[in-house]
Structure 1
Amino acid sequence: MGCAASKITTLNAAENSDTTLATAAELGVGETRLALWRKNGGGDLEPVLASGAVALLDAQWVISHAEAGGVLTHRQALPKEAFLSLADLVKAINYSRVSVPVIGLPVTVLSYPWLTKDHPDPLGTSLSRVAKALKALCSDVTYIYGRLGVFWDFGSLHQHPDPANGVMRTEEQDTLFKRGLGCLGTLYSHPETRVLRLTSFPDGHKTEDQADGTNVAAYFDRGWCFTESSWASLTKSGRLSLDLGLMRDDEEYSCVSLVDECTKGGGRRPPLLPSRFAAELETKSFTNGKDDKPLVTRLYAAAFEEQFGKATGLRYVRLGWGDAEAAQVAEVLASGAAPDLKELYLGYNQIGVDGCKALAAALGKEGAAPRLEELYLSYNKIGDEGCEALTAALKEGAVPRLKMLYLEGNTIGEKGCKALAAALVEGAAPSLKPHRSPHRPSRVQTLFVGSKPPELVAVCKERGIYLELYIDGRR
């Protein structure tokens, strides 16, 4: 966000909004749709949307406006048809096709650098790029429900209409603006909203031509952009955080191809502890100097606590993460931030011995993940040494509720499997037992490895553990 606001005072939305949610009849929507909206966490967004502090743009309007060569104006000047109501968003939930799983909420949040101090996109170049992505997302109605609400700060929050000439927000609008700011952490960090990160400047934009006072730093060096990106890196699935800087100008995208293109190489960092976030924030620039740093530090800490506090599953898959990133995840787990975590997916990354050791140490810490039932480390590079570190932690009583352990594709040889067998003989991971996973209900699963020494086969048979072997990529 690039708003030029001085000495902003944060207002917590939960404390300044009516927390009683509207009924289906009051919203004029069906009970089933409202239940599905709230099942996916839509209720977290309702107070601020209902209060008028935040207004979501209609993606179809954004697309049409861009294709007509338009430029986005501030919220107060936009026509009514530019927005979607809360009822519109609830109605956008597609529950009729039961064979298609519901993926997230029909809410997209934009993170981008303002191009000038008073207007984020005076020539409409960013609008055109964002509209291209929205058009691709809306092309698959089974995936994005057809209608999509877009949070774009300039059009979604009350702005100063003409600050250069002293035309500012009214007192009521200023109160709503501050309330909206207090909810940004939830909008960006919500595990079921999609974040679009416009990480590059448009062609032809020259920072040296900008007026004095304009923040000319690159996306990753800006305070608000860094904050928004960090929010999006907390508990959200990787495919719900897209780097639009990876889009190619000459490519026409479908929904799936856009997601594939904009998540190449992972495209996101692991979550940061609030203390680490605050330290990194000191290196970032704001349009208003350091005035916004205390605000975003508080907002980040609140979002971190909110999202990890309720997280039951973390899916950090195919993100290209190595040992350093695994250590960062381990640091978050060791802090006890996710007490209700049941599933941790870190498969198809580049995690090696050191990363696995850090994870093992974190999981062995009291209170780190007391309810963890499923650990997915498949297709990394942990090897025998990493497997030994993990099994040593299990033997010491780590994750006692663990029901499923995925280790295939890690070049674990006889040494690692023997260590795992020895730990199982001594009673490690007492909850490992055959069960049917909700993700693969057709097959009984427990333990996945890539080798079959007789010691491991024997102890699994004795304990009734279902052992599935992957040899040369085959079961």
Structure 2
Amino acid sequence: MAAAELAAAFSAFDVNGDGVISLEEFVAILTRSGEAGNARPMRRNEAEALFRSFDCDGNGVLSTEEFIRPWAVHLARNSLLSALDAVDAANGRENLMWKAQARVAVQAEAFAKALVDAPGDLPAPGTYASADVLYAALRPLAPDCPPPVRLLRSSWIKKRARQLRAAASPEERQALAMPRRQDLERTDPDAFMDEEELRARSAPDRTGSFITKKLALGALSYCWLTAEHPDPRGEQLVSLAAAIEAAEAGDQAFPGEAAFFIDFASLPQKGPGGRRTPAEAAAFSAALGNMQIWYSHPLVTAFIARSLPSGHEKVPRYEERGWTTCEASWAALAKPMSHYCWAPIIDVPQQGAVQEYRRPAPTTPAALARLVAGKRFTSKKSDLPMVIELNTRTILSLMRDTEKLEFAQCGWGDGEMEQLLEAASAPPSVLPLCRNLRKLWLFENHIGDDGVAALAKAALGGALSTLEDLHSDLKLKGNRIGDDGVQVLAAAMCGDGGEAGSLPSLKLLNLSSNRVGDFGAKALANAMASGAMPSLGLLYLGSNRIGDAGLCALASASASASGLEQLYLEHNQIGCTGVTALADAATKLGATCRDKALSPWADS
């Protein structure tokens, strides 16, 4: 919304012209429709609650600063709600749904922009950098209230799964199905892990010189099979236990005792009369409003159960549902992938099901809103607005805080790269939201020249401008990148039209184990010689197709690359001519080079 329009709105609320908005002035406008851009009249208690959310200093009046940005967010939210009404009115009719979903995407993008401009409306910076927000959800809201969330022990899950496997009849299995949280608290309180124990089990564990920072905590994303019980015969619980046991047996083993978020056992559920007590309802509401943390938080391992047990073919599938679509998307946003720790996302196949999991690229708030608007919910009218707002706030705040995006070994090709990068010139989208990004790791995928072209376009458009720390690096090792891709990337690094390079502070570039030949090496050499990469200290080009011509160009460019400390070229097609040229350049510069990188027999 334009600044002039927001100023006019402030003036409309400030009826007496004293420069501030009182509670009565605020309520008087909002309880009438069509004034100051407010299309929907509100009840007095709603208007008062909105006023309190705007009144940051609690002095009972709103200054211009307190009003302008939150009001823009409020109007953007209203526009989004109107777009969602059109989805509801379309009632699944394809021609109307397409238009309604497109409108949702437009309004979701406007809502995201309003939130970016009003950072106070987002979770506090650092929310996803520590476990504090997770631990807070395990504490009671008040002395007489239950905690919003309880976490199950993995040992209880595995024990109950063994009992289910041994059950001799369907009736036995039904009796052993997971109890609702309140029943389990009464019959088996030791089934839960408290905050103190979770903290103790999640202390950093040193593995060699690396420290595992993930919590001993998993979250299950799965389908409810009936409205009354998500897993009435315990089949999904058995599959989860099998996935946990497999993860515990891996090279980088999942903890032998861990806590688990499973909604039916973790959140207060309705009783036999279909109601919760007021205290349970308050705890449930608090948990629901923060549901995304269990799937999106980088310190939590997501267990994704995408396939259904046999006999449930008429139940909506995982990918057809709104909540599970969101949970899977949240899990894929920014969880780190590491050789030194267990997988951040673990597939939970049902017995006999073979369905390889492929981590999707993170998506923009607008794209996810459009996707989710077409999915199925138990109560779409109430759930869809909440889910889209959660989506938007989650993506914005998580990407704002992240310093490293690790999408290694995801099986990604050019399509995922384009999804990640192609919209980068039209904020708000994923990469421009990463204000603190220092590392982008994309190694050991199937990325080719088209994917690198998308990366180059994003870099040229400024989407990677946050890679400015002298410890920043770009890892593209083990892909399918050839000369064409490297030439486009090198051109982007040189900038456009004589401007400064797009990554002037890049410290490390790893293109090992690709398909780079002499033309690609020459393009990198030209970029180095032009001064486009003055901070580049480490250049990895091993296991490519570089010959003497490419190495000679790199050797010549090294005179201009004063910051270059190490150049790795093992396992290429380099002969004595190339090695001699590089050795001569190193001698002239007085540089020290790694012997293996220069050995002609290592490159034959």
Pairwise TM-score range, normalised by the shorter structure:
0.7 to 0.9
Query: Amino acid of the residue matched to residue 386 of structure 1?
Result: G
* Residues 16-415 of structure 1: pairs in structure 2 closer than 5 A: 41-51=130-140, 52-69=147-164, 70-78=176-184, 79-95=188-204, 99=208, 101-138=211-248, 143-162=253-272, 166-207=273-314, 216-237=315-336, 239-245=343-349, 264=356, 267-331=358-422, 334=425, 335=429, 336-366=432-462, 368-372=464-468, 373-396=472-495, 397-415=501-519
Bigger drift between 458-467 and 301-310 goes to 458-467
Q: Could you say if the C-alpha distance between residues 39 and 205 of structure 1 is closer, same or farther in structure 2, counting changes exceeding 3 Å?
A: closer
Aligned counterparts, 1:396-435, within 5 A: 396=495, 397-433=501-537
**C-alpha displacement of 1:463:** 2.0
C-alpha separation between the residues in 1 aligned to 2:467 and 2:196?
Answer: 36
TM-score by length of 1: 0.79
- Counterpart residue type for residue 403 of structure 1: K
**By how many angstroms is 1:365 displaced?**
2.2
CA distance in 2, matches of 1:446, 1:141: 30
Inter-partner Cα distance in structure 2 for 1:141 and 1:103: 17
Q: Are 2:541 and 1:448 equivalent residues in the alignment?
A: yes
Q: Give how far 1:249 is off.
A: 5.0
Could you tell me how far apart the structure 1 residues matched to 2:476 and 2:152 are? 39
Paired letter, 1:469: L
Q: Deviations over 1:359-379 (max 9, x none)?
A: 111122235432352001122
Report deviation, 1:197. 0.6
Q: How big is the shift at 1:385?
A: 1.2
For 2:402 and 2:556, the matched residues in 1 are separated by: 36
Distance, in Å, in 2 between the alignment partners of 1:172 and 1:218 is 33
| Corresponding letter in the other structure for 2:281 | D
Q: Secondary structure at the match of 2:276?
A: coil
Match of 1:463 among 553, 558, 561: 561
How has the CA–CA distance of structure 1 residues 431 and 161 changed in structure 2, closer, same or farther, with 3 Å as cutoff?
same
Q: CA deviation at 1:317?
A: 1.0
CA deviation string 1:238-295 (max 9, x = no partner)? 52112212x6659xxxxxxxxxx98x5x621100100000011122111223431111
- Which structure's residues are more often helix, by fraction? 2
Q: Quote the offset at 1:41 in angstroms.
A: 2.3
String of CA shifts for 1:53-95, please: whole Å, max 9, x gaps. 1111111111112212221011111131111000010111254
Provide closer, same or farther for how the CA distance between residues 333 and 374 of structure 1 changes in structure 2, counting only shifts above 3 A: farther
Q: CA deviation at 1:101?
A: 3.1
1:98 Cα deviation from its structure 2 partner: 5.4
Partners of 2:302 and 2:345 within 8 A in 1 = yes
| Structure 1 runs (4+) greater than 4 angstroms displaced | 94-98, 138-142, 247-250, 331-334, 472-475
Q: Is the 8 A contact 1:333 1:369 kept in 2?
A: no
Provide the rounded CA distance (Å) in 1 between the counterparts of 2:572 and 2:541. Answer: 13
Q: Deviations over 1:387-421 (max 9, x none)?
A: 11111111012122200001122211111111111
How many residues align? The count is 406
Change (3 A) 1:356 1:175: same
In structure 2, the CA distance between the partners of 1:168 and 1:202, relative to structure 1 (3 Å rule), is: same
Q: Distance in 2 between matches of 1:412 and 1:142?
A: 33
Deviation at 1:301, TM superposition (A): 1.2
DSSP 3-state at the match of 1:349: coil
- Superposition CA RMSD, Å: 2.7
Q: Of the two, which has the highest radius of gyration?
A: 2
Unaligned segments of structure 2, at least 5 residues = 1-45, 54-126, 141-146, 165-175, 338-342, 496-500, 574-601
Q: Output one character per residue of 1:159-212: Cα deviation in whole Å (capped at 9) or x when no partner.
A: 1122xxx331111111111111122211111112111111111123342xxxxx
Match of residue 144 from structure 2: none
Contact in 1 for aligned 2:541/2:567 (Cα 8 Å): yes
1:370, 1:401 within 8 Å by CA — same for their partners in 2? Answer: no
- The offset of 1:139, in angstroms, is 5.1
Does the 8 Å CA contact 2:243/2:347 hold for their aligned counterparts? no
TM-score by length of 2: 0.63
Q: Which moved more, 1:129-138 or 1:392-401?
A: 129-138
Give the whole-Å Cα distance in 2 for the aligned partners of 1:133 and 1:447.
37
User: Is the contact made by 2:151 and 2:261 (CA closer than 8 Å) also made in structure 1?
Assistant: yes
In 1, are the aligned partners of 2:534 and 2:561 still within 8 Å (CA)?
A: no
Given that 1:242 and 1:267 are in contact with CA atoms closer than 8 Å, whether structure 2 keeps it comes out as no
Q: How far apart are 1:302 and its partner, in Å?
A: 1.3
Residue in 2 aligned with 1:255?
A: none
C-alpha contact 2:128 2:398 (8 A) present in aligned 1 = no
In the alignment, the residues of structure 2 paired with residue 401 and residue 234 of structure 1 have an alpha-carbon distance, to the nearest angstrom, of: 26
Contact 1:75 1:159 in 2 (8 A): yes
SS in structure 1 opposite 2:282? helix
SS at 2:138 equivalent:
helix
SS at match of 1:114: coil
**Whole-Å separation in 1 of the counterparts to 2:463 and 2:285:** 36
Stretch of structure 1 that moved more, 323-332 or 312-321: 323-332
User: SS of the counterpart of 1:292?
Assistant: helix
Q: Indicate the SS of the match to 1:453.
A: helix
The residue type paired with residue 68 of structure 1 is Q
Q: For 1:39 and 1:279, how far apart are their aligned partners in 2?
A: 25
Note the C-alpha offset of 1:382. 2.4
Give the number of the structure with larger relative contact order, counting CA–CA contacts within 8 Å between residues 6 or more apart.
1
Contact 1:270 1:328 in 2 (8 A): yes
Cα distance in 2 for partners of 1:267, 1:103 equals: 24
How far did residue 137 of structure 1 move? 3.3
Residues 383, 454 of structure 1: CA spacing in aligned structure 2 closer, same or farther, 3 A cutoff? Answer: same
CA distance in 2, matches of 1:342, 1:122: 46
Distance 1:472 1:454, change over 3 A: closer
